[in-house]
Amino acid sequence: MSWRHWNGGRTLSTVKVVVRKSGQVIETVARPLREAEGGPAVVYRRRFWRYAAGSIDLDSRPLAPDEGNGRPAGSAQEERSEPRAVPATDDAGDREAIRTASAGVRMLVEAGPGTGKTEMAAQRIAGLIRAGLSPGQLLVLSFSRSAVRTLTRRLSRVAGPEDRVLEELRHVSIRTFDSWVFRMLRLLGGTPSALLAREHDANIAELTALIAGSRRDDVRALAGDRRHLIVDEFQDLPGVRGELVLALLELLAPPGHPGCGFTILGDPAQAIYGFAARNTAGAVFPGPAEYWKRVLSAYGAGLDVRTLRRNYRANAPLAGLSAKLRGVLLGPRPDEEKLRVIRESIAALPAPTQPIGPDWMLNGDAGNRAVLTRTNGEALRVMQKLFGSEVEGPMIPVRLRAGGHALLPPAWIATLLRRLRSPEPTRSQFTKIYAHVTGQGDMATHLKSLLPPEDVAWARLARASGAAEDTSSISVSDLRARLNWPDAFPDDQPSGEEGVIISTIHQSKGMEFDIVTILDARDDDGAPGEDSEAPAKTSAGEEASVGYVAITRAGGVLERMDGDAIHPPPRSRKFQGERQRLCHWRAGWVNLEMGLRGDLDPFGFVNPVLHDGAAGVESLQEFLLENARRLEGHKVMLCKQMAHGKALWNVHLQRGSSPDRLIGRTAHQLTYDLMRLLSEKGYSLPKTIMNLRIAGVGTVTSEAEFELEEPDRSSRLWLGVSLFGMGDFKPLRKKS
């Protein structure tokens, strides 16, 4: 099948597309219109659909053949069916060995990007379940949330038609180190408040110490009858996580004693964390390579070492580039030399012809797309450029993934549970709540795109609260305590399957995109001295690996964007604690990054005083649910108010250039940072702050003291928004 875009390869217009399934409208989205054989088509969920009378019908057949990984033909992906440039595909034997090894086998799998480590991990898990292991006998740990999410999604694909396996796979818990450690420490007697008050690393170090010391037998008992341990992304475990893995291996699978097996997967060329990690005594942990060596030497001949070579992600030229650069990174050259090669490769990439702006993402190849940057500041600047000056968010979803800007937990939690009175709802109560909420005419329509099926919703809530997925009741206070943990709802994060993701390279780890644009920022960007978020602080070896990770995220198209596109370069400064915000003083204006965790007052969304009583709160909550999608990317204005003698800013939706509907208000954290920034220079706090946008609508909670009305008093779960962007304001001199 041949595909052309309208007008000789360029998309002329973006259209509203009503998406229908089973005769019902499930959502309305915007898509570039494309021409396929026989008429217009649009891309939805990575497939091409016939577009007729303003809608697409998901019950019809998609136009593209549903190939292996389900991407649309005719996009950048089409090139992938070409023969690969990399001939080294003789790894079928290794793949088969990994898939079929028995549970007791101890295996180390080393493989480059796109070779299917995550896929193999999923197949290994499915193989073990097929061979008779129960989900509880498996422990699957990974470094990052995105890896956990990807692995969880892959599991549903590898199950095959055997019902039992599929059912069992749904109960395999795949966790980040952070969340597994949290659970273990709780079971060992730690209180949630104490555990949450510390850094994840401190919790991990404590569990490692307990394994080595007094509580070894308790940890062993709590770990249960584990028969196999799977660890993905082993290269990123230097530091406390690496120490934990070594301690766990020694505890569960002691060398020389048969029993529990393990599969450890990783790629030393993609090590981007922990080069400079230090222990509590200030000593530097060993580098990534050292941890491989330690496993190799501890298990010696008892270890089955496998290598994967074939790149399933990238088309021929990109697979060739990846293989060449991997050779350089794993070779003997000095780190500075490796970094030079990576930089030259990025500098040699083609640049998009159109300047970055709101139209930029409507053109070009179909497929999902990412812009990757080194720093949060760069990601934010790219975002600003893409949004332009429009008050409403763009028609194609654009999402930011950068440190400090975590999305709120999904909105469906508050939508289902806000009116809950019981502190411990049972499964059957939940069924009634679900039926009630989804049965309300309009509500059902708004919820369609937000809400998972009932059994999935229950399992996710159970898991997030720390209970087993088949638990018969859930503790709402446990759920609240863990709601803001970063990986509490790994399956509800946007998958990046549609639209554009703007991400730091670190956050893009383990992900893949049809089209990747790497922001090629200059060396001096973002490094103005000690107060800044400074890429200059990373070692040459680490930065080379970071560049390599960026290059290898692309499946079909890889291009570079010149750093000048986001000029002036972002600079960041430190505030209280570890908080960093980008900041500029320019031509009488200040430009300050806002929307960090803790910048908004959680009670601002349900405070009756702020919203003219309980009816106003209800109306806002309904508004947020009804407009959840439309509000993404919408501009807000912050207007200063005094509350108990302290300045706070009310958050209003922006209409034209004026404040419109009130949504919430800022928290004291932002006031303190603004005071620190302005007072020392003799300026007063600004009346109005412009140009921030809504990142998304989600669930908000808080354990802090605050008089709430029902229903929020019992559930303490309600809807709110998170913000992102650079707030603009004109500082005024304090009157003397």
Ligand X SMILES: Nc1ncnc2c1ncn2[C@@H]1O[C@H](COP(=O)(O)OP(=O)(O)OP(=O)(O)O)[C@@H](O)[C@H]1O
Which positions touch ligand X (CB under 6 A)? 68-69, 111, 113-119, 267, 270, 312-313, 510, 512, 552
- Identify the CA nearest to 259 among candidates 233, 280, 228, 238: 228
CB of 95 to ligand X, least distance (A): 7
Say how far apart CA 549 and CA 699 lie, in whole Å.
Answer: 32
Nearest-approach distance from CB 509 to ligand X, in angstroms: 7
On the question of a cis peptide bond just before residue 355, with omega within 30 degrees of 0, the verdict is no
Find all residues with CB under 8 Å of 92, minimum gap 6, and list them.
none
DSSP-derived secondary structure letter, 597? T
Q: Give 113 or 490: the residue with its C-beta nearer to ligand X.
A: 113
Token representation of residue 239 = 């530091």
Compute the least distance from the CB of residue 510 to ligand X, in Å: 4
DSSP-derived secondary structure letter, 60: S
Query: Which two tokens mark 54?
Result: 């303003």
26 vs 330 by CB, closer to ligand X: 330
- Amino acid (1-letter code) at residue 303: L
CB of 44 to ligand X, least distance (A): 19
For ligand X, give the closer residue by CB, 430 or 513.
513
**Lookup result for tokens 């932002």:** 670
Q: Least distance (Å) from ligand X to the CB of residue 112?
A: 7
Contact partners, residue 634, CB within 8 Å, separation at least 6: 391, 392, 393, 653, 654, 693, 694
Q: Which residue has the tokens 């993701």?
A: 501
Which of 181, 328, 234, 270 lies closest to 546 in space, CA to CA? 270
Query: Least Å distance between CB 230 and ligand X?
Result: 13
Min dist CB 119 to ligand X, Å, is 4
User: Quick one: 113 or 466, whose CB is closer to ligand X?
Assistant: 113
Give me the half-sphere count of Cα atoms (radius 13 Å) on the Cβ side of residue 462.
Answer: 19
CB of 71 to ligand X, least distance (A): 8
Of 68 and 645, which CB lies nearer to ligand X in the complex structure? 68
State the minimum distance, in angstroms, from the CB of residue 404 to ligand X: 23
Q: Compare residues 62 and 510 and give the one whose CB is closer to ligand X.
A: 510
CB 671 within 8 A of CB 648: yes
Please report how close the Cβ of residue 553 comes to ligand X at its closest, in angstroms.
Answer: 7
Q: For residues 150 and 607, which CB has a smaller minimum distance to ligand X in the complex?
A: 150
C-beta nearest to ligand X: residue: 116
Helix (H) or strand (E) holding 151: helix 145-158
**Token couple for 130:** 């097929």
Residue 81 vs 297, nearer CB to ligand X: 81
Rounded to an integer, what distance in angstroms lies between the CA atom of residue 551 and that of residue 346? 8
Of residues 545 and 650, the one with the C-beta less far from ligand X: 545
Longest dimension (CA), the chain: 79
Cα torsion angle, 198, 202, 207, 213, sign: negative
Specify the residue, 157 or 655, whose C-beta has the smaller distance to ligand X. 157
Q: Which residue's CB is nearer to ligand X, number 111 or number 685?
A: 111
Exposed, middle or buried: residue 69 (CB in 10 Å: 0-12, 13-18, 19+)?
Answer: middle
Residue 607 CB, nearest approach to ligand X (Å): 44
Strand partners, 265: 109
Instruction: Determine the Cα–Cα distance for residues 554 and 558; give it in Å rounded to an integer.
Output: 6
Cα distances (angstroms) measured from residue 332 to each of 88, 337, 548, 718 = 21, 10, 17, 55
Asked if 551 and 519 count as a contact pair (C-beta separation under 8 A), the reply is no
Q: What φ, ψ does residue 721 adopt, rounded to 5°?
A: -125, 160
DSSP for 1-18, written as a single string: --EEEHHHH----EEEEE
For ligand X, which is the closer residue by CB, 322 or 691? 322
Nearest to 419 by CA among 602, 630, 629, 606: 606
Nearer to ligand X, 17 or 107 (CB): 107
Kind plus residue range of the DSSP H or E element containing 373:
strand 369-373
CB of 557 to ligand X, least distance (A): 15
Q: Give the nearest distance from C-beta 70 to ligand X in angstroms.
A: 9
Q: Which is nearer to ligand X, 312 or 623 (CB)?
A: 312
Tokens of 393: 């968010």
Tell me whether residue 69 or residue 137 sits nearer to ligand X (CB atom): 69
* Shortest Å, Cβ 150 to ligand X: 6
CA 190, CA 184: separation in Å to the nearest integer?
Answer: 9
Q: Judge whether 693 and 725 are in contact, CB under 8 Å.
A: yes
CB of 140 closer than 8 Å to CB of 176:
no
CA distance 177 to 231: 10
Q: How far is CA 377 from the centre of its chain?
A: 17
Closer residue to ligand X, CB minimum distance, 110 or 168 = 110
The full DSSP string for 461-528 is: HHHHHTS-TT-SB--HHHHHHHHTSTTSSGGGS--SSSSEEEEETGGGTT--EEEEEEEE--TTTT--
Q: Which is nearer to ligand X, 313 or 401 (CB)?
A: 313
Q: Are 140 and 175 in contact (CB under 8 A)?
A: yes
Q: Taking the complex as a whole, how short is the minimal distance between the CB of residue 371 and ligand X, in angstroms?
A: 18
Cβ 546 to ligand X shortest distance, Å: 13
For 312, 379, 496, 511, the CA distances from 368, given in Å and listed in that order, are 17, 17, 7, 11
Question: Cβ of residue 99: shortest distance to ligand X, in angstroms?
Answer: 10
CB nearer to ligand X: pick between 312 and 706: 312
- Smallest gap from Cβ 107 to ligand X, in A, equals 15
263, 107 in Cβ contact below 8 A? yes
User: Which amino acid is residue 68, in one-letter code?
Assistant: G
